[in-house]
Structure 1
Amino acid sequence: MLVNDSGSVGSVKGGSRRDFLRKMAFGVAAATGASSLQTSATAFASSDVHGGSQGSPLTGSFQGAFKESPILADLVKAGKLPSVDQRIPSNPRVIKPLEAVGKYGGTWHRAYRGPSDRVGPSKIVEEMLIDWDAPDTKTIGLVANLVEKWEQNADASEYVFTLRQGLKWSDGAPVTTDDVMFWYEDINQNKDIRPNADPLIRQKVGAEYKLATIVAVDATTFKVTYAAPNPLLPIAIAKTGGFPNPPAFLAPSHYLKKFHPKYASVDDLAKIATEKNLPAWQALWGDAGNMEGAIAFWFKNPELPTLLPWRVTVPAPADPCVLERNPFYWQVDTEGNQLPYIDKIEHAFFESLDVVNLWVAQGKIDMQMRHMSAGSYVFLKENEAKGKYRVLNWRSASTQAYFPNQNCPDPVLAKLFATPEFRQAMNISINREEIAEIVYNGLGVGRQASPVTGSPEFDADLVKMWAEYDPKKANDLLDKLGLTKGSDGIRKRPDGKALEVVVEHISPTGSPENDQHELVKGYWAAIGIRATMKAVERSLYEEHCRTGEIEIGNWGFDRSSVVKADPGRWLGTITDGPWAPTYGNWYAKAPFKQEEPPADHPIRKIWDLWDRVQVEPDEARRNALFQELLGVHKAAPMVIGVVGEIVAPQIASNAFGNTIAGYIADDTLRDYGLISPQQFYLGRA
């Protein structure tokens, strides 16, 4: 007998061991021939995911006295902390726990790969003005978060936001529109700190980028006005408002002014930078405007006031890296208990996935989805009882993909990568179904990089485009391009050199992606392309991508759920998927190497359509334009999608509460940030 994700019981009769794995992962529907992808896919409230100005009615409600963690109550008694009613806004956001009102206390143990793995901890703690709201596994909407409400005019060119009354930073300082204006004027209009303003206030209108206007109406209300309609702003805030923190539209001015040249001596700032082994004061804030500097990024600076449920107290590269509760956190549960329930989060450092899997089997991990994989699914299931945990399956919106760089330094390769027939040959030479079976235990789907099933932008034809396995046709395509094979079976480039490519990736030792790379290497060799698979450290990989100094990159083609919230994969502007990074930099006017694309390059049509999508107030016309944009990719995919909609196993100890199976895992939705980690607890019966 087995229990599927919904808790119903089915029996296993006949079939292969891999069929059994599918049943465990997808539920009985998969075994009976029903579409498991449809039954487990997330449906969205509307094509753009709208929320009302007052937020969603899908969150909880509360009336009564606030309560707090015992460790905070002790600090109140000792006179070291104000009472809980003085720390929480008069109208806090109320979170309805997924399963039950939790218990206070404990340490959540998880694993990370060091400073470059900053995105994992960030997804747990991110906060923004507007948040996703997922009351169940099939519905996603928007809810007011740091603001108590937002309103917009008829054409979405003007927004008014009202902060929660009594909202406080983690050091107890009040959050006001002074923090909004500091973020707007002193950070986003200072070229030394941010060469380009935050994308949420930097709007492309025609050929120009125009800065929105922000005005403080009073201490808690501010108005944002755009030069043209900006109907996608709410979902863009929900996606991008949290990383890196502080969130978009807010910065702790009372703290950060100490490091700003408008309020402090440049000589003093230079001394601080020297003390921190940084080349200049600008590096205190970050590199090229990324806001990940020593003083500006929450993950690096324990002294930075935040609005997060937990704040870093022992930063990376420590082992463990430690986060501790924010005593001024502004959310409560339906019984008035100040969140979070859990006191502390410890991240243990690892290099090999084998180590993490061993920790899981030994019961040393309380809850983890990041770095868990379908390739380890058998091991994870076999050790559930021993490790005293559950495997709760989510569905990944990401498709494992390879990105041939049309801007790579080798002009011959760049021209080949820009040739549709060459990309088609690289695509159809890959046996996706074999990879899905061998590498991912049959728990994924061979597909082209495309929106996940259930997305408003899902396109069944795009899923299949160039995804068939046809090595004969692949060879014929390369023959027609004049790329003849030598005696060793490797083709010759137009300049007579061997057709060799280097694929850079960050796949950790023991990961299924490494096995995938070896299979892909063999498929490409069979059609005369010699590939070298090269593992590099993440920050180096990102640098190579930003500058275009890469031939082929490997990354997940993610952000595939609410695509219009974060379309950079399709525009070429998210450069860790480097299919045209220097073109993307040119379009975004990013502070990295730029290259203007030829007038007839299809990326120009993609950009033109996106420029029109962003300012189109009519939803039906907006959706039609975006489908036309996807159609450019469908005609000749820019990337090589391999396997997607892979089971994303979440490990949760039997004592870890308020996390369930069945959601979509996507960067746009912040993975399990979607279900409010602040309501997780230890002590589940």
Structure 2
Amino acid sequence: MKHWFALPLFLTVFLMTMVPGFAAEIPSLEERVAAGELPPMADRLPEMPLTVDFEARGAELGQYGGTLRMLMSRSKDTRQMTVYGYARLVSYQPGDYEFFADILEEFIVEDERVFTFILRRNHRWSDGHPFTAEDFRYFWEDVANNPDLSPAGPPSVMMVDGEAPLFQMIDERTVRYSWSKPNPDFLPALAKASPLYIYRPAHYLKPMHAAYAKPDEMAKRVEDAKQRNWAAMHNKMDNLYRMDNPDLPVLQPWRVTGNANSTRFRFERNPYFHRVDPKGRQLPYIDEVIFDIASPGLIPAKAGAGDTDLQARYLSFDDYTFLKEAEDRFPFRTRLWRTAKGAHMALFPNLNAVDSAWRELFRDVRFRRALSLAVNRYEINQVIYYGLAYEGNNTVLPASPLYRKDYQTRWATFDLKQANALLDEIGLKRGEDGLRLLPDGRPMELIVETAGESTEQTDVLSLIHDSWLEAGIKIFTRPSQRNVFRNRIFSGETLMSVWAGAENGLATALNSPQDFVPYSQQQLQWPKWGQFIETGGMSGEATDMGPAKRLEELYVIWRDASTRSVKKGAWEEILQINADQVFTIGLVSGVLQPVVVSNALQNVPKEAVYNWDPGAHFGVYLPDTFWFDETSATNASAD
């Protein structure tokens, strides 16, 4: 079956060339245009730009100018500009999360096997260089399939049972990827918050590639860049997601500038951005975005002091009362958006832990069930979330068509008697102090590791500590930096961690079930199994537990299915296995996320879903359409 995807119903196309002079120039760019440094707006835009339907989004036409201030905690958070900017080849629309052609002018999908992408004529990178099919060819032939730049080969999502796609460059605006089997993960990977980039600015990177640069010139470049070889230099300069190289051309609404430092990062408008408002005026409305770096623990206080115009990152529900009280002193409002993860917070027993005693226990389903039964989710919900969250497993939410209450509640009711009975059945005896003993005689003192970014996790763990102690298990909390946290899990040093659950709790049968099957190293319950799948067996460990292997089989059944009913059947068995096997211990979901919004900032939804993928947090709501109305700063009514 063949499907064409151009602009969906909620978007319209406005041909700038058909309405000459209709759109005024952006004030902040007028001098550069007058000086000949930039072409006028009509020449900077693609021949067929993407016109956002403001009416469908409940948005209002805005005005140009202003600086959007946000707070981040580290320099690596520059990548959040790519997340929030959310310009993708194909993007999700809010609400139903259907795909639409964004950077692309059109895309054609045949049986989820053949994907044809058509680019916008005269679309340009942020430096004004044409964006063409050559940028796709360069990535595929010179990056993804170059062993120096990509030792593991092409991205795993582009390999179907070990088969790479047939790449065809049809003309300068058209490329095609073909597989013999379906690849339903391809489009979602392109639309993710952290997307799969299948293109590169070839004109910028070729001088850093051994296949194009002269050896003597390359040697000097490597020396000047202080890198060990050309591949290390190329990889350092080539990271569209991180947004940390001011010289790297981008397609996002804003690009990082070179005057950043360790405490402040500045992003300026991309003068060649491809979206326009209903009057044909180029977006974004806002001239620049600034990320001020602060300690994570100070960000709620700084947000409450009016030091940010738009903030949700590093805020949690326990900050809400303080933020609401601060509204009387500073011109902002605090909105509450419902989150959509399968679990706002979950515990992840590491089935690949290097400690053999704990690893064998974690692989015993009775132990995982006992741990889940010993969690008082009702208490957590009432004490931490004022009873506003959903209690239960890490699974799809009630708003998902795949939802069944049993998936949410199985082995998730508070039952210490049954939990202790399961632990007794395993043969875990208690010592004189009441703690149970591991098979090797050690007391069951379990360290639960966190990324140390919020007191919310430690508050929840303190409640779990009390109920698990009654089951004879004592837990300790160990915070660390996020990179250290993840690397310890990947290596198997971490026994148990706490993190958010499945990204998409609103999944349908057509969405990938990859969150619930071994798929990626990033899955904290089985990182080595996921790594094995992700690298095609080059790294990690092969799955060696029956139920988890069945999940892998079901994923393949889902992937290769040609009908919705077969996909739904695979999904249902996947969710049943996860509920019964308790591979992760979900705690609560649907938690409300505080979002601080300046009274002057317009077009930010009052009610919305705050989710990483799909959603890109603010990205799906198109921050390039946000704008400042200073008259609203002091006259805003309560949301």
Q: Is this a same-fold pair by TM over 0.5?
A: yes
Tell me the amino acid that sits aligned with residue 163 of structure 1.
Answer: L
The alignment partner of 1:140 has SS state of coil
Tell me the amino acid that sits aligned with residue 392 of structure 1.
Answer: R
Cα distance in 2 for partners of 1:543, 1:427 equals 25
The alignment partner of 1:643 has SS state of strand
> Offset at 1:418?
0.9
Residue correspondence of structure 1 range 44-443 to structure 2 within 5 A: 52-62=4-14, 64=19, 65-97=22-54, 98-134=58-94, 138-153=95-110, 155-194=111-150, 195-204=152-161, 209-239=162-192, 243=194, 248-264=197-213, 272=221, 275-276=224-225, 278-286=227-235, 293-297=236-240, 298-314=242-258, 318-353=262-297, 355-398=298-341, 399=343, 400-443=345-388
Q: Any conservation in 1 of the 2:79–2:243 contact (CA below 8 Å)?
A: no
Q: Any conservation in 1 of the 2:390–2:591 contact (CA below 8 Å)?
A: yes
Tell me the amino acid that sits aligned with residue 128 of structure 2.
Answer: G
Tell me the amino acid that sits aligned with residue 102 of structure 1.
Answer: G
> Offset at 1:200?
4.0
Q: Any conservation in 1 of the 2:82–2:252 contact (CA below 8 Å)?
A: no
* Bigger mean CA offset, 322-331 vs 222-231: 222-231
* Bigger mean CA offset, 574-583 vs 217-226: 574-583
Cα distance in 2 for partners of 1:62, 1:430 equals 56
The alignment partner of 1:387 has SS state of coil
> What is the aligned-residue identity percentage?
27
Cα distance in 1 for partners of 2:260, 2:485 equals 19
Residues 478-516 of structure 1, C-alpha deviations (whole Å, 9 max, x = no match) = 11111111122221101111112222211325x322211
> Offset at 1:518?
2.0
Tell me the amino acid that sits aligned with residue 462 of structure 2.
Answer: E
Which runs of 5 or more structure 1 residues have no equivalent in the other structure? 1-49, 287-292
**Do structure 1's residue 681 and structure 2's residue 624 form an aligned pair?**
no
Tell me the amino acid that sits aligned with residue 648 of structure 1.
Answer: Q
> Offset at 1:218?
0.7
> Offset at 1:277?
5.2
* Bigger mean CA offset, 367-376 vs 414-423: 367-376
Cα distance in 1 for partners of 2:491, 2:203 equals 36
Q: Any conservation in 1 of the 2:25–2:40 contact (CA below 8 Å)?
A: no
* Bigger mean CA offset, 514-523 vs 358-367: 514-523
Equivalent residue for 2:462? 518
**Do structure 1's residue 569 and structure 2's residue 515 form an aligned pair?**
yes
Q: Any conservation in 2 of the 1:93–1:332 contact (CA below 8 Å)?
A: yes
Equivalent residue for 2:636? none
Q: Any conservation in 2 of the 1:114–1:317 contact (CA below 8 Å)?
A: no
Residues 329-353 of structure 1, C-alpha deviations (whole Å, 9 max, x = no match) = 1110111110001111111112233
Q: Any conservation in 1 of the 2:522–2:530 contact (CA below 8 Å)?
A: no
Cα distance in 1 for partners of 2:441, 2:259 equals 51
Change (3 A) 1:71 1:230: same
Change (3 A) 1:277 1:494: farther
> Offset at 1:383?
1.7
Q: Any conservation in 2 of the 1:450–1:459 contact (CA below 8 Å)?
A: no
Residues 58-102 of structure 1, C-alpha deviations (whole Å, 9 max, x = no match) = 124545333332011221012111111111001111113342111
**Do structure 1's residue 529 and structure 2's residue 529 form an aligned pair?**
no
Cα distance in 2 for partners of 1:447, 1:67 equals 54
Residues 612-669 of structure 1, C-alpha deviations (whole Å, 9 max, x = no match) = 2112221221222222222211221200111110001211111011011332222212
Cα distance in 2 for partners of 1:68, 1:318 equals 34
Cα distance in 1 for partners of 2:473, 2:216 equals 55
**Do structure 1's residue 629 and structure 2's residue 565 form an aligned pair?**
no
Report the TM-score when normalising by structure 2: 0.91
Cα distance in 1 for partners of 2:53, 2:400 equals 25
Cα distance in 2 for partners of 1:79, 1:52 equals 40
The alignment partner of 1:306 has SS state of coil
Cα distance in 1 for partners of 2:407, 2:325 equals 36
Equivalent residue for 2:486? 542
> Offset at 1:228?
0.9
The alignment partner of 1:346 has SS state of strand
Provide the aligned length of Structure 1 versus Structure 2.
615
Tell me the amino acid that sits aligned with residue 63 of structure 2.
Answer: K
| Alignment equivalent of 1:664, drawn from 609, 614, 623 | 609
Q: Any conservation in 2 of the 1:110–1:368 contact (CA below 8 Å)?
A: yes
Q: Any conservation in 2 of the 1:129–1:144 contact (CA below 8 Å)?
A: yes
Cα distance in 2 for partners of 1:87, 1:612 equals 46
Q: Any conservation in 1 of the 2:23–2:280 contact (CA below 8 Å)?
A: yes
The alignment partner of 1:496 has SS state of coil
Cα distance in 2 for partners of 1:676, 1:606 equals 36
Q: Any conservation in 2 of the 1:300–1:316 contact (CA below 8 Å)?
A: no
Cα distance in 1 for partners of 2:216, 2:365 equals 54
Change (3 A) 1:162 1:389: same
Cα-Cα RMSD:
2.3
Cα distance in 1 for partners of 2:120, 2:142 equals 23
The alignment partner of 2:472 has SS state of coil
Q: Any conservation in 2 of the 1:547–1:593 contact (CA below 8 Å)?
A: no
Tell me the amino acid that sits aligned with residue 148 of structure 2.
Answer: D
**Do structure 1's residue 584 and structure 2's residue 530 form an aligned pair?**
yes
Change (3 A) 1:565 1:542: farther
Tell me the amino acid that sits aligned with residue 194 of structure 2.
Answer: F
Cα distance in 1 for partners of 2:267, 2:422 equals 54
The alignment partner of 1:392 has SS state of strand
Q: Any conservation in 1 of the 2:263–2:294 contact (CA below 8 Å)?
A: no
Tell me the amino acid that sits aligned with residue 8 of structure 2.
Answer: S
The alignment partner of 1:322 has SS state of strand
Q: Any conservation in 2 of the 1:545–1:575 contact (CA below 8 Å)?
A: no
Which runs of 5 or more structure 2 residues have no equivalent in the other structure? 633-639
> Offset at 1:148?
0.9
Residue correspondence of structure 1 range 430-469 to structure 2 within 5 A: 430-469=375-414
Q: Any conservation in 2 of the 1:301–1:312 contact (CA below 8 Å)?
A: yes
